Amino acid sequence: MPPTIPALDALRETLPDDLKDLRLNAQTVLSSEVLEPDQALGTALAAALFVRSRPLADALAADIRAALGDGAAAVIADATAAAGLMAMNTVYFRFRHMVAHGREGKESYASRPARLRMGRMAQPATSKTTFEMMSLGCAALAGCEACIQSHEASLVHLGASEDACHDAVRIAAVMAGVACGLDAFAERGS
Judged by DSSP in three states, 126 sits in coil
Residue 179, class by beta-carbon neighbours within 10 Å (0-12 exposed, 13-18 middle, 19+ buried)?
Answer: buried
Is 180 noted as a catalytic residue in this protein?
no
Neighbour count for residue 87 (Cβ, 10 Å): 15
Is 144 noted as a catalytic residue in this protein?
yes
The single residue of 138, 147, 165, 180 carrying the catalytic annotation is: 147
Q: Say how far residue 34 (Cα) sits from the centre of its chain.
A: 16
- DSSP codes, 75-123: HHHHHHHHHHHHHHHHHHHHHHHHHHHSSS--THHHHS------HHHHS
The single residue of 138, 144, 165, 180 carrying the catalytic annotation is: 144
Contact assessment for residue 116 and residue 85, using Cβ atoms and an 8 Å cutoff: no
Residues serving a catalytic function are 144, 147
